[in-house]
Structure 1
């Protein structure tokens, strides 16, 4: 298995930006966790490493990372394996995320700038992208239906030896 070193987390909360109607934020946010890896790591090993990493044990509902946690997003941790990640094109990833970003209408310029510097930059620099497939409500943990939408991607950038776990959701 590849070794991943956690570098940092970036959190973009739509509520931190002034929407003209006061509601356009839709309680949405983007969470990016950045990791470094050694050269010549294979994608299956990187996916295995990210699923096994302590930073993956995050319910994304305010609890943060729990080293002993049993949840990941809306799902029980034990139902997620590297095989649940499907290769996805940059165009498809960008389309899914842009539809999610714009679902409530236009965005304030400050939020567009923040998304350009984080979300879009990560997608654009990735050599390969993987999407966590919808595991269905049977995989939800005890309160897993809290998110209306939950989108998760893994972006791999070999040039920078960087892997980013990207979650876009609401609460």
Structure 2
């Protein structure tokens, strides 16, 4: 099914573009969002997740290198160790709680950042039919320089109404 997922668009929200009172609160924090069109033929949610994991857009270390079609890293992890079993199904409420907890880690976010996050991330969470959350894979899965990410949260959103699967990563480095 990998060949049937088509990368449509991406969005990147960099916290450095907003004004905070506490300088620790923005550092190198960001949300990266990749949208892929899902095929018209019916597919189970786990099949779509497997297709995403094998897609070249998934080969991103989220450390400035971008997508590397032959890459061996995904975020802080070795790509080969990111499997279907590494994801858990979470509710809309639980996913929003995890993400808001990370967003407001230091202090409440400025209104403009909150509005951008609402539009690009939280509205998509609330519209998803199915949400997967990447579990902490443990020390053995972290690649040679993967600890550059202090926090790494990954959600996979399946929205059949929009015909889209979205990879949403929120991290600090």
Provide the rounded CA distance (Å) in 2 between the counterparts of 1:87 and 1:70: 25
Q: Secondary structure at the match of 1:45?
A: helix
Q: Which moved more, 1:47-56 or 1:15-24?
A: 15-24
State whether residues 26 and 104 of structure 1, in contact with CA within 8 Å, keep that contact through their aligned partners in structure 2. Answer: no
Q: For 1:21 and 1:155, how far apart are their aligned partners in 2?
A: 32
Residue in 2 that maps onto 1:5? 6
User: Out of 19, 31, 45, which is 1:43 matched to?
Assistant: 45
Where does the alignment leave 5 or more consecutive residues of structure 2 unmatched?
none
Tell me, yes or no, if structure 1 residue 137 matches structure 2 residue 131. Answer: no
> Aligned residue pairs: how many?
171
CA distance in 1, matches of 2:22, 2:92: 32
The separation in 2 between residues aligned to 1:167 and 1:63, in whole angstroms, is: 15
Per the normalisation by structure 1, the TM-score is: 0.96
Which residues in structure 2 correspond to 1:121-136 (within 5 Å)?
Answer: 121-136=123-138
1:140-151 matches, within 5 Å, as 140-151=142-153
Residue number in structure 2 paired with 1:24? 25
Extract structure 1 runs of 4+ deviating beyond 3 A: none
1:65-144 correspondence runs (5 A): 65-144=67-146
Contact 1:71 1:77 in 2 (8 A): yes
Q: CA deviation at 1:20?
A: 2.6
In the other structure, the counterpart of 2:55 is 53
Unaligned runs of 5+ in 1: none
TM-score, normalised by the number of residues in structure 2: 0.95
Three-state SS of the structure 1 residue aligned to 2:24 is coil
Deviation at 1:83, TM superposition (A): 2.2
Does residue 14 in structure 1 map to residue 15 in structure 2? yes
